[in-house]
């Protein structure tokens, strides 16, 4: 990373927040960014075939991920039965309605260029998540679970910002400004607020509420072993993610994408390791997705 980009990252860091401050932040964000309206979107597509060929996999994947927020809420309830009031308010009353409406808008676009939605898993909560929820009652474990939740959320939202930025630029370049300006750009504008919540929450947890060394070390171990790309739960979805990355040109800048995705965990988990530009597990996950996409395109068995 260059000195300039490093300074930019540090300079972009918001101030730390208390639980009361986080609550005010979420309330203001909800007031400023209500769920987007399908009626306000212009779904005009000038060349449906060209959009489907270039960005069909992107819309298909992002639509599924946004709709699966319905399941994510169930997972969070199971994962953190003793969640803070602010966390619960954020994911139930603000984040979920916004993200589900993103799915509605994206689905309307993909149906406009003739692509059927990918089936979404909306209700199944894994046994592993339920087990972690039980373990969260043990002394000190809820702090670890909360930190992993914030890190996962931050990485997911950072990934979304990168993807939507590339998608809106690509649509504009194709002359598809209606969808770019009234669907993708408004979605993109809401994602940084989600990222800011996770970043502020993680910083407050580590610096103000305080986590012990053993909690941070356990978080490092669990994060390394459990990290997954957003929306990837099987080999097919891994290749699908790779398709999205290649369609958006992210495969040509994997290291920079990994830096963006890992921003908060580099700050809070790995800052003491001076030589670590990006966590190796994130870069490996991105590379594996690209390789799976290429292999599937070549007709190789996944």
The tens digit of pLDDT for each residue in 90-128 reads 999 999 999 999 999 999 999 999 999 999 999 899 999
Distance between CA atoms of 182 and 105, rounded to whole angstroms? 10
Q: Sign of dihedral through CA atoms 295, 298, 300, 302?
A: positive
Residue with token string 């000195």: 3
Average pLDDT, integer, range 44-72? 97
Distance CA 133, CA 146 (A): 11
Instruction: Report CA-CA distances (Å) from 297 to 39, 134, 239, 251, 292.
Output: 37, 42, 9, 15, 9
Residue 274: pLDDT over 70? no
Please state, in angstroms and rounded to a whole number, the distance separating the CA atoms of residues 146 and 154: 12
Cα–Cα nearest to 112, from 174, 49, 171, 172:
49
Task: Tell me the per-residue pLDDT of 142-169, one tens digit each, with 9 for 90 and over.
Answer: 999 999 999 999 999 999 999 999 999 9
Contacts of 44 (CB under 8 A, 6+ apart): 178, 179
Question: Which CATH architecture fits 15-225?
Answer: Up-down Bundle (1.20)
Q: Compute the distance between CA of residue 111 and CA of residue 153 in angstroms, rounded to an integer.
A: 28
pLDDT digits (tens, 9 = 90+) for 187-245: 999 999 999 999 999 999 998 888 999 999 999 999 999 999 999 999 999 999 999 99
Statement: residue 7 has pLDDT above 60 = no
Q: Is 0.85 surpassed by the pTM of this model?
A: yes
Which residue ranges make up each domain of the chain?
15-225
Position 291 pLDDT exceeds 50 = yes
């Amino acid at each position: 990373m260059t000195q300039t980009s490093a300074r930019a990252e540090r300079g972009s860091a918001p101030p730390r927040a208390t639980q009361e401050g986080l609550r005010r932040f979420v309330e203001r964000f909800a007031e400023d960014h209500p769920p987007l309206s399908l009626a306000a979107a212009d779904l005009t597509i000038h060349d449906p075939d060209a959009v489907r060929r270039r960005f069909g996999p992107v819309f298909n994947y992002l639509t599924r991920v946004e709709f699966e927020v319905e399941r994510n809420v169930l997972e969070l309830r199971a994962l953190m039965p003793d969640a803070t009031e602010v966390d619960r308010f954020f994911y139930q009353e603000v984040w979920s309605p916004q993200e589900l409406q993103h799915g509605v808008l994206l689905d309307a676009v993909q149906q406009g260029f003739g692509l059927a939605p990918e089936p979404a898993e909306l209700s199944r909560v894994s046994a592993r998540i339920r087990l972690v929820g039980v373990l969260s009652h043990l002394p000190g474990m809820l702090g670890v679970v909360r930190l992993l939740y914030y890190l996962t959320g931050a990485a997911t939202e950072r990934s979304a910002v990168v993807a939507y930025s590339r998608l809106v630029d690509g649509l504009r370049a194709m002359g598809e400004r209606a969808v770019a300006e009234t669907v993708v750009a408004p979605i993109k504008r809401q994602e940084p607020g989600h990222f800011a919540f996770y970043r502020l929450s993680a910083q407050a947890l580590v610096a103000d509420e305080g986590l012990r060394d053993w909690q941070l070390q356990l978080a490092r171990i669990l994060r390394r072993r459990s990290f997954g790309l957003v929306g990837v739960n099987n080999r097919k979805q891994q290749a699908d993610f790779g398709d999205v990355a290649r369609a958006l040109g992210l495969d040509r800048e994997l290291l920079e994408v990994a830096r963006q995705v890992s921003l908060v965990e580099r700050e809070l988990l790995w800052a003491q390791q001076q030589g670590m530009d990006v966590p190796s597990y994130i870069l490996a996950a991105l590379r594996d997705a690209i390789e799976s996409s290429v292999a599937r395109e070549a007709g190789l068995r996944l």
